[in-house]
Amino acid sequence: MHFPSRRVAVAALLLALAAPFTPALAADPAPVPVISRDILFGNPERTGPKLSPDGKKFAWIAPDEKNVLQVWVKTVGQEDGKKVTADKKRGIRQYFWAEDDRTLLYLQDADGDENFHLFGVDLVSGNVRDLTPFQGVRAAPMMVSQKVRDRILVNMNLRDRRLFDVHEVNLETGAVKLVAENPGDVDDWTANDDLEVRVAFVRKPDASTEIRVRDNAAAPWKTLLTAPFGESIGVLDITADGGALLIESSLNANTNRVIRKDIATGTETVIAENPNVDAGAVMIHPVKHVVQAVDFPAGRQAWTVIDPLVKGDFEGIWKLRDGDFSVVNRDRDDKTWLVGFTEDRGPVRYYAWDRETKKGTFLFVHQPKLEGLPLAQMRAVSFPARDGLVLNGYLTLPVGVKTAGLPLVLFVHGGPWARDSWGYNPYAQWLANRGYAVMQVNFRGSTGYGKKFLNAANKQWGKAMHTDLLDAVEWTVKQGWVDAKKVAIMGGSYGGYSALAGVTFTPDVFKCAVDIVGPSNLFTLLASIPPYWATFLAEFHQRMGDPKTDEALLRAASPLFSAEKIKVPLLIGQGANDPRVKQAESEQIVAAIEKNGGGVTYVLYPDEGHGFARPENRIDFNARAEAFLGACLGGRVEPLPEGGKVPGSTAVVKVVEPKAK
């Protein structure tokens, strides 16, 4: 089984125009109860189920008695579930099975530094071992194989912090062996079922990309495919006979297609494509290594079934729920699939699908307390930007209020090379429950819409990417749903940058802003990226700007240098250990605001990184954001606990009061 590439995945999403809709205006809408932040942002009761390869054990993630997420395991058909991990603080969020049927593997970092270690739990002895015990090194699992069960492949930047080499880890002895050394430009690797590294995905200094192959571990590398900057290629898998690659490619098309490329001849066969939408999730059989289905979302999920052997399974699963589903796990014999359904107004639901009987058995929902609550509908919308480019997004309107003249929160996604999608979103539900309309727009540069839409954002930070956000606000106002004088902007990472850009570049549009781990200075952002992002740097320069040649552009796009324009309330949240957007990004703009006599509230969490993983910190910051938005826009507020802090939170708060002018 191959694990997801380190390469930023191009996610599929809607390009076709969404059907317009008009919300019904309630004559006397009934108020709905305030949904607790503990339900919306607390730990799930149970999530992430996975069957062991032999199908005899069942694992999941759930909180322990101290509300720390752990991995639990039971025997299928029995009630002998027990906790098999003992994380002390942050909780475990990533785990998987080894193929030896006795080892469970999981990842954990230190207080959000993203230098993940790979741990192994021996379910027979109960021993837990750090399989990558190297200080300051980031480990990323690459592959487990049904053919070679006592070893796994792991990417690590052990030799050079900038580069990931492939290491073989012996599950019995813990021995670590270097099996593929990075020549300096490889971003990701792919191996066959013999754990032989056969494919390298390369990022070159001119921001072009390349796929290299070799016949065996001793053979020289040769280039199979090259794509210039602006095109997208990526490796999905190696075919069972080793003679071809399954790839994604936008070459000779606007959207990413799924293609079989013969290694010897270079011949390409298109397996699945959609002229309007990039290929999203691709389901590949873990042993046969054939594409079975490809998702081409059109507002919601839209699977295209490729393998006739699973057609009946998909038809049966579609009948289980009115939601979007994914096959999250399956046993070695491919008899049982674990399926997860997401929907906009309810928790994630998990089922066991029996492929022989074509029947699904309900397992559990991730957060039962969401059942029966007055959750809001998320609807796909589309509208033109000022230059005619079609923008797609999602609008969530509050339940129990008249949908006219509402306050609006423009909630901007991170990345920026990512996207918003349909389904249960705790932030959209939270804000709508408090009385706000919530707009989530996939501005230019968002993935899933094809290369033209993606490349339309090149060197447009603070420019067309920002005016797309303004156009989303204007469109929503024109529909009559929101009050143009009651608009806030909020987001994390790039969304945090957008919040800062909103109150500096267009200070008259937004009444307040919430920035979560957002960069304020593009020069310092580019200069302080993690060392293991070195292979991405050329692409960053092409998409954002090169400090050596685009100084004026980057300066104009950096909110720090316009801090004196901030005249509305601003709330900033930051993790002290963030390796992507360093603490200095927040602190330098706080200092600039203070120097210019402005006001800002700054909340630092010493034990967090790029976002807030611990539920105590996540709930604490959102409680502060809720009070902040309530004071700014007039929405409903669930008060903070006595003492002004969520118990267990590590928040350190600095309030800069604006100086009288």
Q: Which entry of 578, 586, 607, 649 is annotated as an active-site residue?
A: 578
Cα 509 to chain centroid distance, Å, stands at: 28
Residues 6+ apart with CB under 8 A from 123: 57, 73, 84, 102, 103, 104
Q: Look up residue 517 and give its two tokens.
A: 């781990």
Cα–Cα dist 270/248, whole Å: 10
Contact call for residues 299 and 313 (beta carbons, < 8 A): no
Helix pair 464-478, 494-505: axis angle to 10 deg: 80
Pairing of strands 117-122, 128-130: antiparallel
Element (H, E) at 625: helix 615-633
> Which of the following is catalytic: 607, 610, 620, 649?
610
Query: Which residue in the block uniquely carries the two structure tokens 């359904």?
Result: 341
DSSP letters of 521-543?
Answer: -HHHHHHTS-GGGGGGHHHHHHH
List the 336-343 sheet strands across, edge first. Answer: 324-330, 336-343, 346-354, 359-365
What's the length of the chain? 661
523, 554 Cβ separation under 8 angstroms: yes
Asked about 508 being catalytic, the answer comes back as no
DSSP-assigned letters across all residues of 13-38:
---SPPPP------SSPPP-PPPPHH
Is residue 555 helix, strand or coil? helix
- Whether 289 sits among the annotated catalytic residues: the reply is no
Choice among 52, 232, 446, 493 that is catalytic: 493
User: How does DSSP assign 247-291, residue by residue?
Assistant: EEE-TTSSS-EEEEEETTT--EEEEE--SSS----EEE-TTT--E
Beta bridge partner(s), residue 227: 209
Q: Is 117 a catalytic residue?
A: no
Helix or strand (DSSP H, E) at 622: helix 615-633
> Catalytic positions, please?
493, 578, 610
